[in-house]
C-alpha cells in the first residue's frame, strides 16, 4: 500500500492531490505503508463487484494517517496489522 | 423568489418502463397543463450512462415531451442531484434567466444484480479508498458504530427510524414499500454491513418526479396553493473519508442548513415538516442534529420520544424517506421537494401534518460530499 507525502511540507495523505492542501505546493511523492493499528472494522455481507463475498473493511491508523484495507480475519480495535496489496487493493492481517 | 406551483410523481419501486418513459410519465401531466409557459427544463439524473446506456438525457426527454426547442440541461451531483437541480432552477428564476422551469428527477436502477449496483454507486468514492472494498453501506456502518459508542445511544434507536419511515411510507401511495414493519423485524433482518441491517438501508429503486417552478409574482396565476422557496444553502466537504475529522458530523449539512435557514429568515423551531436524506437510518439521526433540529448526540432521543413522527414536534420524512419511499437517485431530492409542496399545500392526505406552513429539505451527495438545504413557506 502507498500513501502520498508533500515534498515541501511533508504532510501525508491517503488520497492523491495535485496541490498540497496544507502548503499549496505541487509535487507529491509516494510513501509505502506496511503497518497500522486497527481503529474499527465493519463486516460486509453485501459487497461490490469485483470484490469477493464476506470480508471486513478495516479502518486503521498508520503513523497518524487513516488508511482503509480489507481482511478475512476477525480483528479487534488496537490490533497491530501488516498491510499488503493484492490484485484488488490493500489487504491486512494481524501481526 | 421561486415557487413550486405543481408536482407530479410516478410510483417508486421496481418498474418495467424505461428511464425515458418514467421521466415522461411524471412530466406529461405538467406539460399538458403548462406547455406554453415552460421555458427551461432541468433533468436531475446521476447514472443514466451506467444503468441505462443513455446520454444526453435532457435532450431525449424534451423531444419526447414535444418541448424540442425549450432549453434543457442535465444536473448530476450523485445522490444530491435533486437538491442541486432545484437550487439551479431557483437561481435561474431569481436571476430572470428563466421564468417557468420544469424540473424532472428520474432514475432507473433495477435490473442489475445488487453487487453491480453497489459497484456503480461506490464509483463516487476516491479510488484510493474504494480499493479497500469500501462501499456506501460500509460507511453507514462505520458511522453507526461511532455514533452508538460516542453518544451512548441504544442500538434500537437506529432501527426505530426505519420503523417510523416504513409507517410513513405505508401512508404514501407513491412509496416503494407500503407496509409497516416492527422493531423486531428490523432487528432480525439480514445484516448488510454490521451492525446495520437490510431494513435500515434504502432499496434500489426506479422512479421519477416533476415539479413546476415559477416566479413568486406569477404563482397565483398557476395555483392558489404552493411552496415558496425562501432560502437555499449549498456546501461541500472533502470527498476523502480519511481526511475527515469526524465520521459522526457532516460539515456540509451544518453549513448548508445554516445558510438556508438564514436566507429563509426562520429558525429550526419554525419548521413544521422536514425531509432528510436517510440513505441509511443512522444518517437521518445525524442529519437531524447537524441541520440544527436537535443538539449533537441527542437526535436518537427525539426518535425514541416520537418527536420526529407525524404529529411530533418536528415530523421528519413524512413521505417514508429514502428508506421506505425508495431512492431512485436522481429523483430523490426532487421527491423531497414534492413532499414538502404537498404538505404545505394541504395535499398530503393520510400523512398530512396539521397546519404545516414552513418546510425544510436536505439533499445530500455521496456520503457527505455536498448538501443542498432548502427552506419553503406555504402560500395558502
Going by the DSSP 8-state scheme, the letter that residue A19 receives in this structure is B
| Residue pairs between chains A and B whose CB atoms are closer than 8 Å | 92
Q: What is the pLDDT of residue B226?
A: 96
| A40 lies within 8 A of chain B by CB | yes
Q: What is the pLDDT of residue B222?
A: 95
Contact B128 A16 (CB under 8 A): yes
Q: Is the pLDDT of residue B266 over 90?
A: yes
CATH 3.40.47.10 range(s) for chain B read: 2-112+207-222, 226-379
Architecture of domain B2-112+207-222: 3-Layer(aba) Sandwich (3.40)
What cell numbers appear for B242 in the block? Answer: 480519511
Rg of chain A in Å (alpha carbons): 15
pLDDT in tens, B343-357: 999 999 999 999 999
Per-position b or e across B126-151, b if 16+ CB within 10 A of its CB: bebbbbbbbbbbbbbbbbbbbbbeeb
Contact B135 A44 (CB under 8 A): yes
Determine which of A12, A42, A49, A65 to mutate to test the interface with B (most B C-beta atoms within 10 Å).
A42
Q: Top-level CATH class of B226-379?
A: alpha beta
Which phi and psi angles does B260 have, rounded to 5°?
-65, -40
Q: How far A27 CA lies from chain B's nearest CA (Å)? A: 18
| B137 lies within 8 A of chain A by CB | yes
Contact A15 B192 (CB under 8 A): no
Q: Is A17 exposed, middle or buried (0-12, 13-18, 19+ CB in 10 A)?
A: middle
Alpha helix (H) residue ranges in B243-317: 251-264, 281-290, 299-305
Contact B193 A49 (CB under 8 A): no
Q: What is the pLDDT of residue B41?
A: 98
Determine which of B113, B119, B128 to mutate to test the interface with A (most A C-beta atoms within 10 Å).
B128
Helix %, strand %, coil % of chain A (to 5): 0, 55, 45
Residue percentage of chain A with pLDDT more than 90: 99
Crossing angle of helices B155-170 and B281-290, rounded to 10°: 100
| B131 lies within 8 A of chain A by CB | yes
Question: Quick one: which of A37, A49, A93, A50 has its CA closest to A70?
Answer: A93
Considering CB atoms only, which of A15, A46, A65 is closest to B129?
A: A15
How far the first Cα of chain B sits from its last, in Å, is 16
For B123, nearest residue in chain A (alpha carbons): A48
Residue percentage of chain B with pLDDT more than 70: 100
Q: How far A76 CA lies from chain B's nearest CA (Å)? A: 14
Which phi and psi angles does B193 have, rounded to 5°?
-140, 110
ipTM field: 0.96
| A51 lies within 8 A of chain B by CB | yes
Q: pTM higher than 0.95 for the full model?
A: yes
Range B181-208 average pLDDT: 98
pLDDT in tens, B63-120: 999 999 999 999 999 999 999 999 999 999 999 999 999 999 999 999 999 999 999 9
Contact A40 B240 (CB under 8 A): no
Range B256-277 average pLDDT: 98
Contacts of A18 in chain B (CB under 8 A): none
Q: How far A25 CA lies from chain B's nearest CA (Å)? A: 18
Considering CB atoms only, which of B126, B138, B241 is closest to A44?
A: B138
Amino acid at each position: 500500500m502507498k500513501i502520498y507525502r508533500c515534498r515541501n511540507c511533508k504532510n501525508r495523505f491517503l488520497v492523491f492531490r495535485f496541490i498540497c492542501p496544507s502548503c499549496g505546493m505541487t509535487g507529491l511523492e509516494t510513501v509505502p505503508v506496511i503497518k497500522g493499528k486497527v481503529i474499527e472494522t465493519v463486516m460486509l455481507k453485501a459487497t461490490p463487484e469485483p470484490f469477493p463475498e464476506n470480508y471486513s473493511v478495516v479502518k486503521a491508523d498508520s503513523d497518524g494517517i487513516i488508511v482503509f484495507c480489507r481482511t478475512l480475519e476477525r480483528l479487534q480495535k488496537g490490533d497491530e496489522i501488516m498491510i499488503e496489496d493484492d490484485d484488488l487493493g490493500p489487504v491486512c492481517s494481524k501481526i | 423568489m421561486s415557487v413550486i406551483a405543481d408536482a407530479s410523481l410516478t410510483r417508486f419501486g421496481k418498474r418495467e418502463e424505461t428511464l425515458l418513459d418514467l421521466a415522461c410519465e411524471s412530466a406529461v401531466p405538467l406539460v399538458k397543463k403548462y406547455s406554453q409557459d415552460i421555458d427551461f427544463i432541468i433533468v436531475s439524473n446521476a447514472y443514466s450512462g451506467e444503468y441505462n446506456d443513455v446520454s444526453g438525457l435532457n435532450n431525449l426527454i424534451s423531444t419526447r415531451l414535444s418541448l424540442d426547442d425549450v432549453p434543457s440541461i442535465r444536473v448530476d451531483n450523485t445522490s444530491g442531484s435533486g437538491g442541486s437541480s432545484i437550487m439551479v432552477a431557483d437561481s435561474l428564476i431569481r436571476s430572470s434567466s428563466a421564468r417557468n422551469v420544469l424540473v424532472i428527477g428520474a432514475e432507473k436502477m433495477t435490473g442489475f444484480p445488487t453487487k453491480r449496483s453497489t459497484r456503480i454507486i461506490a464509483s463516487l468514492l476516491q479510488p484510493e479508498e474504494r480499493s479497500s472494498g469500501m462501499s456506501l453501506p460500509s460507511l453507514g456502518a462505520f458511522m453507526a458504530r461511532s455514533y452508538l459508542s460516542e453518544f451512548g445511544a441504544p442500538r434500537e434507536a437506529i432501527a426505530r427510524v426505519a420503523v417510523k419511515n416504513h409507517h410513513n411510507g405505508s401512508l404514501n401511495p407513491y412509496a416503494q414499500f407500503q407496509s409497516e414493519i416492527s422493531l423486531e423485524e428490523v432487528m432480525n433482518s439480514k445484516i448488510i454491513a454490521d451492525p446495520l441491517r437490510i431494513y435500515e438501508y434504502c432499496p434500489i429503486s426506479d422512479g421519477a418526479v416533476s415539479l413546476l417552478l415559477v416566479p413568486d409574482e406569477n404563482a397565483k396565476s398557476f395555483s392558489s396553493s404552493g411552496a415558496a422557496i425562501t432560502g437555499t444553502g449549498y456546501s461541500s466537504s472533502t470527498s476523502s473519508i480519511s481526511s475527515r475529522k469526524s465520521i459522526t458530523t457532516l460539515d456540509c449539512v451544518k453549513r448548508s442548513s445554516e445558510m438556508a435557514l438564514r436566507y429563509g429568515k426562520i429558525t429550526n423551531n419554525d419548521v413544521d415538516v422536514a425531509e432528510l436524506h436517510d440513505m441509511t437510518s443512522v444518517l437521518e439521526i445525524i442529519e437531524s442534529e447537524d441541520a440544527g433540529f436537535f443538539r449533537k448526540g441527542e437526535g436518537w432521543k427525539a426518535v425514541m420520544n416520537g418527536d420526529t413522527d407525524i404529529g411530533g414536534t418536528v415530523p421528519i420524512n413524512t413521505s417514508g424517506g429514502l428508506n421506505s419511499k425508495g431512492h431512485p437517485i436522481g429523483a430523490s431530492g426532487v421527491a423531497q421537494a414534492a413532499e414538502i409542496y404537498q404538505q404545505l399545500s394541504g395535499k398530503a392526505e393520510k400523512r398530512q401534518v396539521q397546519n404545516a406552513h414552513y418546510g425544510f429539505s436536505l439533499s445530500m451527495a455521496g456520503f457527505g460530499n455536498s448538501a443542498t438545504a432548502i427552506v419553503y413557506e406555504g402560500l395558502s
